Amino acid sequence: MNISSVKLAYFSPTKTTQKILEAIAQGVEYNDVGHIDLTPPDSRTRTFEDFNQDLVIIGAPVYGGRLAGEAVKRISMLKGHYTPAVVVVLYGNREYEDALLELKDLAIKLGFVPVAGGAFIGEHSYTKPEFPLSAGRPHSQDLEKAMGFGKAIRRKMDAIKDIKSQDPIDVPGHFPYKDHKPSSNESASTLEDICIACGTCAAICPTAAIMINERVETDSTLCIRCCACVKSCPTQARVMESSRIDKIVKWLSENYSVPKQPETFI
């Protein structure tokens, strides 16, 4: 099949999804690589060009065994027309449950033809020095696997004669998908004595939940607890202080510390 470029479309607050998509694109080896970064808040109102002879690699994080809700909203603005797509989810070494199936189904609904799928492991948003959760992932072996996956996708693309008659890939997951967890109103907060009001947290927040006025203010109704602000704060002044999340972190570290391996479906 004649492909002229690869487009990476991702929602990735803490950038692990973005890193894996970039590594897959390296393996695919089409010269022209474009980014459709659906993470900044203004991506909610952007319009997107039609895809034309592109392979689109769509990526999103797993939240509660499902696709992150904001990712679904933003990916839903893309429109394919028998456009070949690779669907990829990133998870924090617990489980990805129904998220990859959900992304495959969403891609089909939007007019894409999923030709490959993958579940990769990224550092968990809630990792802490005292309870490291898949800390540092994706590491170099993960990125090598992502590149190898890209090479296999390229071989498949080169062999496809007619995308319209392509059989759908099989990926794990169940439908109906598992229920979304009830949303909580927790959010990260700021340790004012060490905050330097640099604005990094407000600039990186994917839902524009943080405002810098006299002090850093967070709208907890907008916060999706992605921890982008916590991870990017140059003085470690952003913290996720919640006894509920602390319990989850302890449970994850006690039960999910054996490193999982990426899985690919092609």
Ligand X SMILES: Cc1cc2nc3c(=O)[nH]c(=O)nc-3n(C[C@H](O)[C@H](O)[C@H](O)COP(=O)(O)O)c2cc1C
Task: Name the residue whose CB lies closest to ligand X.
Answer: 122
Using DSSP, state whether 9 is helix, strand or coil: strand
Unique residue bearing structure tokens 């080169």: 158
Closer to ligand X by CB, 144 or 186: give it.
186
- The Cα–Cα gap between 37 and 18 comes to 9
The β-bridge partners of 66 are 63
Contact call for residue 226 and ligand X (CB under 6 A): yes
For residue 41, report the phi and psi dihedrals to the nearest 5 degrees.
-60, -30
For residue 99, report the phi and psi dihedrals to the nearest 5 degrees.
-65, -40
> How far apart are CB 163 and ligand X at their closest, in Å?
28
| Residues near 208 by beta carbon (within 8 Å), at least 6 away in sequence | 41, 202, 222
Q: Which listed range, 78-86, 171-179, 182-190, 219-227, lies at the site for ligand X (CB under 6 A)?
A: 219-227
> How far apart are CB 112 and ligand X at their closest, in Å?
20
Closer to ligand X by CB, 95 or 246: give it.
95
Helix, strand, coil content of the chain in percent (nearest 5): 30, 20, 50
- The Cα–Cα gap between 204 and 84 comes to 30
Q: Residues 1-40 vs ligand X: string with x where CB under 6 A? A: -----------xxxxxx-----------------------
> How far apart are CB 257 and ligand X at their closest, in Å?
12
Contact call for residue 124 and ligand X (CB under 6 A): yes
Closer to ligand X by CB, 41 or 111: give it.
41
Alpha carbon distances (Å) from 5 to 16, 25, 30, 55, 100: 22, 10, 6, 6, 24
- Out of 38, 106, 107, 125, the only residue in the binding site for ligand X (CB under 6 A) is 125
Contact call for residue 238 and ligand X (CB under 6 A): no
Contact call for residue 87 and ligand X (CB under 6 A): no
Contact call for residue 104 and ligand X (CB under 6 A): no
Contact call for residue 84 and ligand X (CB under 6 A): no
Contact call for residue 172 and ligand X (CB under 6 A): no
Q: Which listed range, 85-93, 141-149, 161-169, 210-218, lies at the site for ligand X (CB under 6 A)?
A: 85-93
Size of the site for ligand X (CB under 6 A): 24
Contact call for residue 205 and ligand X (CB under 6 A): no
Number of Cβ within 10 Å of residue 236's Cβ equals: 11
Tokens standing for residue 210: 């943080």
Contact call for residue 61 and ligand X (CB under 6 A): yes
For residues 121 and 262, is the Cβ–Cβ distance under 8 A?
Answer: yes
The full 3-state SS of 193-214, as one line of letters, equals CCCCCCCHHHHHCCCCCEEECC
Contact call for residue 74 and ligand X (CB under 6 A): no
Tokens standing for residue 253: 């570290």
> How far apart are CB 159 and ligand X at their closest, in Å?
31
Residues that bind ligand X (CB under 6 A): 12-17, 61-65, 90-95, 122-125, 225-227
